[in-house]
Amino acid sequence: MENPIQSSIAGNQIATYKPNLAVEHEDVHVDLTIDRERYKVETSRWRRIRQHSLTQMLFISIQAFCGPALSDAISGLGGGGLATPKTSNIRFALDQGVEAIVCLFGAVLVNIIGVKWSLVIGAASFPLLGASYYCNSQFENQWFLILTAPFTGIGFGFWNISEGAYVMSIAPEAKRGKYLALWIVSRNAGQLVGGAINLAKNSTKDAGGGIDPSTYIPFIIIEALALPFAFGICEMKDVVRSDGTKILILPKLKNFEELKYILKTYLSKIIYCSFLFIIWSYFYNGPWSTYLALYFSVRSRSLSSLISPFFCIIGCFGLGFILDLSNKNYSQRKRAQFGFWLIIFLNLLVYIWSLIIQIDFIRNNPGSIDWNDKKFLKSFLPYFFIQTTGPLAQVYTYWILSSFAESGQDNIRFSAALKAIQCVGNAIAFGVSAADSFPLTGMILNCSLMVACIPGMWYITSKTPDRIPADVIAEEMILERRIKMEDPGQKDALDQVHTREVATLA
């Protein structure tokens, strides 16, 4: 009989590292399945509700709503809502540069202090963003806007590593796409609130310029609400998925060993083949934010931050449904390939439209476009659609990386690498936007990145395993435990099988 692990991942040549299948079950930090009846009797209702994977996904999504979503909403004001976008672009570039450094080595610290406390550290830094823009807009002290950038970079770095690992790990295998869509939508739902605030404060202003300083006060309040929900997060080893399974958590490694595995992750084929795709999936923020700031009035920008996320919600859940299709005719690999080309095609259409509009604006400056201008609709729609096609690529990035994860720790390493690369892309995007007064350069770079990322991502999609390796390994561990309990004499035979598997996978 073919071994289930070998049949699933032995041919996978782009895994981060090969799991030590000889690890004794007693060393694994969690039981991989639960006795539902016993769990119900021995565990209080509140604790069961709190530990449920959907509850934890809602908790992490609320934090995403309060933190990254409002950060995107501020960015979506066009240059952070400032009268001139240059200072804001410098601030975002610095923030993203620091965050990239944190993400590069942060996985070691996250594994030491745990996911929960990393999220607490990150959530505590969220209000600094709104406060810095308020002080700049109210008191014109640009130094505070720049000074807080490293602190928010550190906080968001810790939070994003943990967030990414958490959302990739806690979802049941058959619902990963929908869970990831819920999370991405939460990020965009924050923009709905931010947009409503923006529009209420700035609806009577027709000219270009800075956002009303009082606009940032509700942002600060909402950002502060993330911290209580961060304290409600469980460590990954305590989460119980809706299908009754738990996350495979291998024993903690020594710091030096963890650094070695992080290095192996960064040097693995799955990371360097997806490197350009990850940068590309977030690169649009810089040029299109500058586009909005340069060519639209304050109230038009406020309206954009309100209505832009609506179609994104439909798109993300639509993609999640496609990625979760469970049919013999739609293997995980086929879903990965179809999802990839769908995203490329949709973004290509938006890029062509955006470039045509931008070239026309360079030739004939439209001034400050208000929502009652005839050219508003055709000028605004490219920005509207990029706010959907961009997040689709982000949902896909997390989904495809989690398809190769071999443990919960693996998702932490994947998340750290992903966020580090993402921050590099954002830093470059906002840096280019700060140096160039027109967004055309950034748009052209964005198009070039999309074309350049295709070969590497096509290779990854062609190697996508039919099942998540971590779940296959967990099932093998459960099977081994049962065999040992039923017939202890099988231990030697199983150890010989493990030795052969390790030799095959190494």
What would the pLDDT profile of 439-460 be if each residue is shown by its tens digit?
788 888 889 999 999 999 999 9
Tell me if 307 is assigned to some domain.
yes
Residue 342 sits at φ, ψ, to 5 deg, of: -60, -45
Residue 67's nearest CA partner among 197, 145, 157 is 157
Separation between Cα atoms, residue 66 and residue 77, nearest integer Å: 16
Tell me if 473 is assigned to some domain.
no
Q: Quickly tell me which residue has 């208000």 as its tokens.
A: 370
Is the distance from CB of 190 to CB of 70 less than 8 angstroms?
yes
In the predicted model, what is the mean pLDDT of residues 371-379? 85
**Claim: this prediction has a pTM higher than 0.85:** no
Separation between Cα atoms, residue 263 and residue 124, nearest integer Å: 29
Tell me if 299 is assigned to some domain.
yes
pLDDT band with cut points at 50, 70 and 90 for residue 119:
very high
Tell me if 11 is assigned to some domain.
no
Residue 205 sits at φ, ψ, to 5 deg, of: -95, 130
In the predicted model, what is the mean pLDDT of residues 215-219? 83
What pLDDT shows up at residue 437? Answer: 59
**Quick one: DSSP state of residue 22?**
T
Separation between Cα atoms, residue 464 and residue 191, nearest integer Å: 33
Tokens of 94: 């610095």
pLDDT over 90 (residue 345): yes
Q: Count how many domains the chain has.
A: 1
- The H or E element that residue 506 is part of is none
CATH number of the structural domain spanning residue 331? 1.20.1250.20
More confident residue, 228 or 253: 228
Tell me if 502 is assigned to some domain.
no
Instruction: Name the range with the highest mean pLDDT among 16-30, 67-81, 215-229, 422-436.
Output: 215-229
Separation between Cα atoms, residue 340 and residue 337, nearest integer Å: 5
Separation between Cα atoms, residue 65 and residue 185, nearest integer Å: 9
What would the pLDDT profile of 124-144 be if each residue is shown by its tens digit?
999 998 888 888 878 877 888
What pLDDT shows up at residue 226? Answer: 92
Separation between Cα atoms, residue 148 and residue 94, nearest integer Å: 10
What pLDDT shows up at residue 432? Answer: 72
Dihedral sign computed on CA atoms, order 249, 179, 468, 267: negative
pLDDT band with cut points at 50, 70 and 90 for residue 9:
very low
Tell me if 150 is assigned to some domain.
yes
In the predicted model, what is the mean pLDDT of residues 450-474? 84
Dihedral sign computed on CA atoms, order 79, 83, 84, 86: negative
| Ordered DSSP codes for 369-422 | B-TTSTTHHHHHHHHHHHHHHHHHHHHHHHHHHHTT--SHHHHHHHHHHHHHHH
What would the pLDDT profile of 288-314 be if each residue is shown by its tens digit?
878 887 888 877 877 777 777 777 778
Tell me if 21 is assigned to some domain.
no
What pLDDT shows up at residue 427? Answer: 73
**Residues facing residue 296 across a β-bridge:** 369
Is the distance from CB of 217 to CB of 135 less than 8 angstroms?
no
What pLDDT shows up at residue 496? Answer: 53
What pLDDT shows up at residue 331? Answer: 82
Is the distance from CB of 2 to CB of 496 less than 8 angstroms?
no
Tell me if 12 is assigned to some domain.
no
**Residues facing residue 52 across a β-bridge:** 240
More confident residue, 263 or 81: 263
Q: Collapsing DSSP states into helix, strand and coil, what is residue 349?
A: helix
Separation between Cα atoms, residue 233 and residue 133, nearest integer Å: 29
What pLDDT shows up at residue 347? Answer: 93
Q: Whole domain around residue 417: which residue ranges? A: 31-249+262-467
